[in-house]
Amino acid sequence: MSELTLHGLAASAGVAVGDARQLEASQPDDLPHRGHTLEAEAALEALDREAADLQARAGRLRADGFALESEILGAGRLMALDPLLRAEVERLTAELTAAAALRAATDRHAALLAALPDPLLASRATDVRELGRRAARKLAPESLDEASDRAAVLVAFDLGPADVAEVRESEQPVIAIALAAGAATSHAAIMARSLGLPMVVGVGEAILEATGRIAVDGDAGVAFVDPTPAREAWAEGEMERLRRERRAYARARALPPVTLDGRWVTLLGNAATAVEIRAVADAEVDGVGLLRTELAFLDAPAWPGEEEHVRVLAPLLGLLQGMVATIRVLDFGSDKTPPFLAGTDQRGLELLLEQPEQLAAQLRAILRTAKGTELRILLPLVESPEQVRTVRTLLGTAAAAAGWDAPLPQLGAMIETPAAARRAHDIALETDFLSIGTNDLVQYTLGLDRTQPVATAHSAADPRVLGLVAATVRAATAAGVTVEVCGESASVPELAALYVGLGVAELSVAPARLDELRATVRALSAEQASATAEQALLAPSQDAALTLARELLSDELGDQHGEMLGGRDGVLA
């Protein structure tokens, strides 16, 4: 057969090639109806079994350090035990078989979610449909662990987090995932990224006909069905190249992140899970520059209380003893809106300050669990110095209530809008450090839609964005505070070089990019990077600024090292 190229969205980075393995949803549709009582008992028992399985799998994930992933499966268990869903299933079994009633009830609940205007909540519809499919599968069990021991690419129309978690316990090695539908923000995608599985979503239903080999490019969001020998050789080569690259970078972890002319650049990692924090520690950097706290509560029915925050934070901060722990308070809103806040137009710190008692509860939990770390507290989407002063007062009260007997932790503000960048000096005077969130800064500056799959990392090279970064650094320097960049753009070698040139003191990126970032910093001259950054500020376009940075990297790193940093197509986003 000839190769079929299917374009979708990148959900989890990496390249892999393996045998297609369809996730069958075989369920007994043609069985006769056995009566309301028997069908209802069978359906409810299937939900009970699925709830028990989810609880057990969540426990194993938590024991292995996958705290957030465990919480995701815990939410699935609560869905299986939801009285409203169970009542609907029981009612439907008056006319439908147990399997049909399970699918019908969960499909209806999923349709209600999918109709919501919030894309993140709508993407949770997959989790509900998965619950119905998996519970129905209990009525005619088919193991996910089938015969072959050859590496496989798991293929499905859509997938929920429990199916991804089950992959960990499968006898057949699953090395990638390709979905006909799905969303890059789904729980399944979060799980795949945590487990290091390349994943593409939204490639279309043609993928469901695949029976042979599949190559998955999780960086570009493409699946190749029946790849040509050349394509398969390329994928195998990419897998091996990435393995070699990781080994080479790992050997340099003991070396300090210092430029050729002696400037130290602090490297930190972005994290939300224990797995990511362990990866940060393995990379031998100073700690975490952005610990996202809202991801554990995206399905919460109400504001999390102090004890809920403690339960989530304690295992994470226990891994950061003696290291920098920069904890961002809840950044709800926009595409991170839990059900109880549906319809709100507010986001970030503005939203939190409307609920000061909820912010105070999180601050107390942070202080109770962060002892032994180099704690820093980070405020999202700060717009004014008055907001920072309000939080500092709340922090002092929380410290007294939590028995915090050390100096108050450093308080930082995220600069994520043009308005905040223009007020950076006033904000810096009230803070201990500034953190530039380039993901949002790019979108607000260039008028991009946060909910769309736009490539924001390279867009940070737009001179308008670079100008705001430069203005923020100047303002912070005048106020005597440091600046970090914690957006994903810092993981792009060209942009990292420009940030160093603009005077950014700290770079915080995904753990998988830390080794590459160290290599970039160590091969740069800060003086030459500064000269290039000044040119980039005057460049006529994003592409022109990137070209200047690429020339700098080519001159500084040499062609061979530049190729390793740049990846197969020049730049890794």
Which sequence positions are flagged as catalytic?
Answer: 187, 486
Whole-angstrom distance, CA of residue 510 vs CA of residue 256: 18
How many other β-carbons are positioned within 10 Å of the β-carbon of residue 445?
20
Q: Confirm if 29 and 100 have CB atoms less than 8 A apart.
A: yes
Q: Would you tell me how many other CB atoms lie within 10 Å of the CB of residue 349? A: 25
CB 71 within 8 A of CB 12: no
Residue 155 and residue 208 in contact, taking contact as beta carbons nearer than 8 Å: yes
> Helices H, strands E: what count in the chain?
23, 16
What is the rounded distance in angstroms from the CA atom of residue 259 to the CA atom of residue 255?
11
Let me know: does 477 contact 428? Beta carbons within 8 Å: no
Q: Hey, how many other C-beta atoms are within 10 angstroms of the C-beta on 394?
A: 19
Instruction: Give the separation between CA 71 and CA 531, rounded to whole angstroms.
Output: 47
Instruction: Supply the DSSP symbol for 485.
Output: E
The tokens of 454 are what? 């736009």
CA distances from 561 to 283, 520, 548 (A): 20, 9, 17
Helix (H) or strand (E) holding 200: strand 199-201
Structure tokens at 260: 């050729």
Q: How far apart are CA 440 and CA 130, in angstroms?
A: 32
The structure tokens listed for 433 are 């450090």
Contact 91, 113 (CB under 8 A): no
Provide φ and ψ at 289, rounded to 5°.
Answer: -95, -10
CA-nearest of 301, 299, 346 to 122 is 299
Q: Around Cβ 215, how many Cβ atoms within 10 Å?
A: 27
